């Protein structure tokens, strides 16, 4: 599994300037500071990476290089956690926070999409009704692939409609609890308008398993 190091920094999180497609949960736009560098998966977790660890492959579309899907939030969390136990490489693995995900997904860009959608994402108009092997589309400026399209990606946060209005300015980790979790990035089934934007949020119960939802992991050095 390859990872990309993302440096600490600040960005405007939420509805992009001039974006007329934003929903209420993407507002207000607000400045967020990520105070520590982190490493995030270069690609969405694939089935050949998931299966040996989880001893299962629930994906509807089967293929070693295809992103894992059909996993709940808890399935994704447990997989990332198991990587740290199995690899013994000095790293902890976890789901990204929503702020980390958007910061990485933007790649330093302030627009709703980091390039022409046809070139960067598998979505309804070009996916042919299925997921595709990871890494076939153009990456963002940070070198991350499939940040938009292919499958939605679970993040660690609980969902709250008005959280953006009062979230911490540094390293927000989401509400303390809730009924729904958040996924980001859009999918092969998504239309060009709405879901296929770096600020779009998909709200799901954490036990939902969907053919359009997968994930990628963050890793960080163990302390002590």
Q: What are the pLDDT digits (tens) for 61-114?
A: 999 999 999 999 999 999 999 998 888 888 999 999 999 999 999 999 999 999
Gap between the Cα atoms of 19 and 87, Å rounded: 42
Whether residue 141 is predicted with pLDDT greater than 80 in this model: the reply is yes
pLDDT of residue 84: 87
Higher pLDDT, 170 or 222: 170
Q: Output the pLDDT for position 87.
A: 82
**For residues 165-190, average pLDDT:** 97
Q: Is the pLDDT of residue 191 over 90?
A: no
* Cα 194 from Cα 208, distance rounded (Å): 21
Q: Which of 108-112, 169-173, 184-188, 192-196 has the lowest mean pLDDT?
A: 192-196
Query: What does the angle CA 45 – CA 47 – CA 48 come to, to the nearest 5 degrees?
Result: 100
Q: What domains lie within the chain, and their CATH numbers?
A: 3-221 (3.90.1580.10)
- Quote the percentage of the chain above a pLDDT of 70: 100
Strand partners, 33: 10, 170
pLDDT band at 198 (very low <50, low <70, confident <90, very high): very high
Residue 71 CA to residue 183 CA, distance in Å, equals 12
Cα–Cα distance list, 177 to 156, 159, 181, 193 (Å): 11, 8, 9, 30
Q: Is the peptide bond before 197 cis (omega within 30 degrees of 0)?
A: no
3-state secondary structure of 194: coil
From CA 21, how far away is CA 23, in angstroms rounded? 7
For residue 224, the model assigns a pLDDT of: 59
SS3 95: coil
Residue holding tokens 């996916």? 127
For 89, the token pair is: 């490489």
> CA-CA distance, 145 to 194, in Å (whole number)?
20
């Amino acid at each position: 599994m390859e990872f990309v190091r993302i440096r600490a920094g600040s960005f405007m999180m939420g509805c992009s300037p001039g974006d007329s497609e934003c929903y209420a949960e993407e507002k207000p736009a607000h400045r967020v500071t990520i105070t520590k560098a982190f490493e995030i998966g270069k690609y969405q977790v694939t089935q050949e990476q998931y299966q040996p660890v989880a001893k299962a492959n629930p994906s509807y579309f089967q293929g070693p290089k295809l992103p894992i899907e059909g996993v709940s939030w808890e399935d994704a969390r447990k997989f990332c956690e198991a990587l740290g136990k199995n690899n013994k490489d000095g790293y902890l693995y976890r789901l990204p926070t929503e702020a980390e995900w958007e910061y990485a997904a933007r790649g330093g860009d302030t627009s709703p999409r980091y390039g022409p959608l046809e070139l960067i994402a598998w979505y309804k108009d070009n996916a042919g009704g299925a997921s595709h092997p990871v890494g076939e589309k153009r990456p963002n400026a940070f070198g991350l692939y499939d940040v938009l399209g292919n499958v939605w990606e679970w993040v660690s946060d609980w969902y709250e409609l008005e959280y953006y209005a009062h979230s911490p300015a540094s390293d927000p980790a989401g509400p303390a609890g809730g009924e729904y979790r958040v996924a980001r990035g859009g999918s092969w089934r998504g239309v060009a308008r709405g879901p296929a934007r770096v600020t779009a949020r998909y709200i799901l119960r954490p036990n939902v398993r969907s053919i359009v939802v997968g994930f990628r992991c963050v890793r960080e050095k163990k302390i002590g």
